[in-house]
Amino acid sequence: MMIKNICCIGAGYVGGPTMAVIAQKCPHIKVTVVDLNQDRIKAWNDTDLSRLPVYEPGLDAVVKEARGRNLFFSTEVDQAIDEAEMIFISVNTPTKTYGVGKGMAADLKYIELCARQIAKVAKSNKIVVEKSTLPVRTAQAIKDILNHTGNGVDFQILSNPEFLAEGTAIEDLFQPDRVLIGGDSTKEGEKAIQCLVDIYANWVDKDKILTTNTWSSELSKLTANAFLAQRVSSINAMSELCEKTGANVNEVSKAIGMDSRIGSKFLKASVGFGGSCFQKDILNLVYIAKSYSLHEVADYWEQVVIMNDHQKRRFAKNIINTLYNTVSGKKIAFLGWAFKKDTNDTRESAAIYVANDLLNEQAMISVYDPKVSQEQVFFDLNYLETRTAEENSKLTHVEMDPYKAIEDSHAIAVLTEWDEFKTYDWQKIYDSMLKPAFVFDGRNLLDKNKLEAIGFIYQSIGS
């Protein structure tokens, strides 16, 4: 089958950038990204590329080159499904908040809705590609829906998990460590796999394109995220021990990272990992293990999440303890709200949970983040349902100017590793704060000696 038209259902953090790069690298293929969210599609089509709904360095240039040529964003879902030979499913798969598996299992309702929509519309053979992060054997569920509710056409299901790091997604797509494609070992399945291999081969070396069975591909994504998150929790656990013993976690991290068997990546102590993938995928892995009665396996991986939650609470507690065991009525400036630099994604950001603990103590939170809007900050806080929206509005302020956010504050909490924070006039910042002034650097951005030289009492977790 020659692929001339691709449809991607879901215009979010994965679907939008991935399809933009495919369109740029494959000008002979029409790529249509569809979503029912009209505001999101409008943003993707905005002539002002700074208003794209996803912020990723380099994404605007890719969209500018391909949009209108062979890259299109639309709300016409049925039309795009009908025209496409290959359909990517890239919708959200959040952790369930209800019923069996609440708090651990992936909620697959959006995946099922996509499958039923494809089955309803498709009148010709289709290759359906899982791009969302899914539990192992989800492909079988999709295949069952398509085969039993469709119009008698043939569907081949492939698993093609994304391994993107937000903030470097475009670079990751241009030069991936590997592209993983899983499918059936049947003749038809192998043909479908080859179709997707041929698309990526337009810019990816073939020795980096791995093909497996569907189940291995699905499980590999969960495993990769679990291993990365495990390293973060491991070094954060050591950071607490370092504080008690007088060791320096940065020195420990450097020492062990120079071991070629370990390596230096993901060994930077911090407030904890965030983002849409790590916690969700680990909890999904825990749920899968429990469903097979692998309780020791489940307990092992669940501890990674427990440690991560502990680190966030410990950071907030350290702030309270340092400010004489009360933060009531005290202004605490947050530098950063996104879960990491170079993205506007706030999902599971440590800043949300640190702020929540401090707001519970009646602190006044002043937030500055270069890419996160005021609306998103309040959405994140209100979503927790810990306080009323009115209470959050009274206690929290979002500023567009970092110096205004910091002015007359008792303390600063650095919660995202934005490069611009390193360039600030810290003497000016210190002069604008109430004395004594405190900085809590959970992202290891600030120079301890420099801060002490201008009078800061420097407090940190993992520094």
The residue with tokens 């053979």 is 125
Identify the active-site residue in 7, 114, 195, 277: 277
Task: Give the largest Cα separation in the chain, rounded.
Answer: 74
Q: Tell me if 342 sits within 8 A of 167, measured CB to CB.
A: yes
State the number of CA atoms in the 13 A half-sphere of 442 facing the CB: 30
Strand arrangement of the beta sheet that strand 438-441 belongs to: 396-398, 364-368, 331-335, 411-414, 438-441, 457-459
DSSP per position, 107-173: --HHHHHHHHHHHHH--S-EEEEE-S---TTHHHHHHHHHHHHSSS--EEEEE------TTSHHHHH
Q: Catalytic: 277?
A: yes
Query: What is the DSSP-derived secondary structure letter of residue 389?
Result: H
Which run of H or E residues covers position 6?
Answer: strand 5-9
| Cα separations in angstroms, 185 against 143, 193, 211, 390 | 15, 9, 10, 57
Number of H helices, E strands in the chain: 18, 14
Q: Tell me if 309 sits within 8 A of 387, measured CB to CB.
A: no
Residue numbers annotated as active site: 277
